[in-house]
């Protein structure tokens, strides 16, 4: 119903009110009434032309309103165009009517219709403007409610998810003390895993020093190497970072995890991290087996989640390039700090 009103009924209402207002303002002072001095077919054509011409002027007003809202023009620019457009539209409408009737346009008849159309056009424009502002406010309110609901759901999921790392962390500590002290290899592995879990569990999402994140990555990589084949060739290079260089944590783990998960073929992994002109650059590549070469366009859920995190944490300040070659899978992440 609202769409029908805005698109079809409101311009028609504008035409009827405008026609009546012009007749009242023009006829009563002169004591000459429009319906007494004109034939019905003339009056019908007159009203139909005004009705027909009301639709393009409403289209222009709506277009101008959207443009003003988008560009945030000052009030005198916005309403100045409306005040100038309405009389011009009125003059054009009167000329069309006179042309169809075969009558010349007398400039003496222009001022009253022009003033009435300017006032009425301004009133309807204000009505349209307030209507659009109400819709925008309602959309913002609904969006805010959705964001609050999403935040609540995320918080609930986070609280539920915390139970499992806590439980696993406590179990690992229990297993650690059950292993004989002389059996150093599994105890060391459990220590590494506990450190990784502690970093993930007690990190509150605030920024950390890049060099702290690098140390975490190195621990994670050393743990991944325990499961990897001896054929694996691993190359790592991390630039030394100053203490004030910070980043949101756990952004590089999905890329490293993906490399170890899908490495094959020549079993080669190489990664590099450096800081250039205020941008942190991290690149990683791994060889892939032949069957994976044909699975182009498919990425793990970890990378998809990483995309989403980057959009939230570094909007318009990051690039994530993923390239799959015949034998290599390459990823480059650049973050503007």
Which pLDDT score, from 0 to 100, does residue 335 have? 95
* pLDDT at residue 233 greater than cutoff 90: yes
| pLDDT confidence band for 302 (50 / 70 / 90) | confident
> What is residue 280's three-state secondary structure?
strand
Determine the average pLDDT of the residues in 137-157: 79
Which pLDDT score, from 0 to 100, does residue 70 have? 84
Tokens of 127: 């009505």
Which pLDDT score, from 0 to 100, does residue 235 have? 94
Which pLDDT score, from 0 to 100, does residue 229 have? 83
Mean pLDDT value across the chain: 81
Residue the block writes with tokens 């042309």: 99
Tokens of 217: 């990555």
Q: What is the DSSP string of 207-258?
A: -EEHHHHHHHHHHHHHHHHHHS-TT-EEEEEE----TT-EE-TTSSHHHHHH
| pLDDT confidence band for 292 (50 / 70 / 90) | low
From the centroid of its chain, how far is CA 66? 19
Highest mean pLDDT among 86-90, 143-147, 256-260, 302-306: 256-260
- Of how many residues is the chain composed? 337
Which pLDDT score, from 0 to 100, does residue 86 have? 86
Out of 82-86, 243-247, 291-295, least confident range:
291-295
CA 75/CA 60 separation, integer angstroms: 18
Residue 268: half-sphere exposure toward Cβ, Cα within 13 Å = 9
Which pLDDT score, from 0 to 100, does residue 178 have? 64
Determine the average pLDDT of the residues in 12-19: 85
Determine the average pLDDT of the residues in 73-101: 85
Tokens of 88: 């011009």
Determine the average pLDDT of the residues in 71-77: 84
Out of 9-23, 24-38, 267-281, least confident range:
24-38
Whether 10 and 124 have beta carbons less than 8 Å apart is answered as yes
pTM, entire model: 0.51
CA 84/CA 199 separation, integer angstroms: 66
Q: pLDDT tens digits, residue range 318-337? A: 999 999 888 899 999 999 98
Nearest Cα neighbor of 125 from 181, 75, 187 is 75
Which pLDDT score, from 0 to 100, does residue 164 have? 55
Domains and CATH numbers, the chain: 2-145 (no CATH), 229-336 (3.30.565.10)
- Please indicate whether residue 180 or residue 55 has the higher confidence score (pLDDT): 55
* pLDDT at residue 4 greater than cutoff 70: no
Which pLDDT score, from 0 to 100, does residue 162 have? 53
Tokens of 121: 């056009």
* pLDDT at residue 225 greater than cutoff 80: yes
* pLDDT at residue 29 greater than cutoff 70: no
From the centroid of its chain, how far is CA 265? 40
- Please indicate whether residue 84 or residue 107 has the higher confidence score (pLDDT): 84
Determine the average pLDDT of the residues in 36-42: 66
């Amino acid at each position: 119903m609202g769409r029908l009103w805005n698109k079809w009924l409101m311009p028609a209402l504008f035409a009827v009110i405008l026609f009546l207002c012009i007749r009242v303002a023009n006829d009563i002072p002169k004591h000459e009434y429009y319906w007494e001095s004109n034939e019905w077919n003339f009056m019908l054509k007159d009203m139909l032309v005004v009705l027909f011409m009301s639709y393009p002027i409403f289209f222009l007003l709506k277009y101008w309103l959207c443009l003003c809202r988008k560009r945030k023009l000052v009030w005198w620019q916005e309403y100045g165009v409306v005040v100038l457009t309405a009389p011009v539209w009125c003059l054009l409408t009167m000329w069309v009517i006179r042309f169809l009737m075969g009558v010349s346009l007398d400039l003496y008849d222009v001022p009253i219709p022009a003033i009435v159309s300017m006032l009425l056009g301004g009133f309807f424009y204000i009505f349209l403007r307030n209507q659009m502002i109400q819709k925008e406010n309602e959309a913002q309110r609904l969006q805010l409610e959705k964001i609050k609901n999403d935040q609540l759901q995320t918080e609930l999921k986070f609280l539920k998810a915390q139970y499992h790392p806590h439980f696993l962390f406590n179990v690992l500590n229990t297993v650690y003390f059950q292993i004989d002290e002389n059996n150093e290899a599994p105890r060391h592995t459990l220590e590494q895993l506990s450190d990784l879990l502690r970093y993930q569990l007690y990190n509150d999402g605030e920024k950390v020093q890049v060099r702290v994140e690098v140390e975490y990555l190195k621990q994670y990589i050393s743990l991944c190497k325990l499961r990897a084949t001896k054929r694996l060739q691993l190359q790592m290079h991390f630039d030394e970072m100053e203490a004030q260089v910070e980043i949101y944590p756990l952004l590089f783990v999905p890329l490293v995890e993906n490399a170890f998960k899908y490495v094959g073929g020549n079993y080669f992994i190489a990664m590099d991290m450096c800081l250039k002109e205020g941008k942190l650059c991290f690149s990683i590549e791994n060889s892939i087996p032949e069957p994976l070469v044909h699975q182009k366009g498919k990425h793990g859920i970890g990378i998809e989640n990483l995309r989403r995190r980057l959009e939230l944490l570094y909007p318009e300040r990051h690039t994530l390039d993923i390239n799959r070659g015949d034998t290599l899978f390459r990823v480059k992440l650049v973050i503007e700090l």
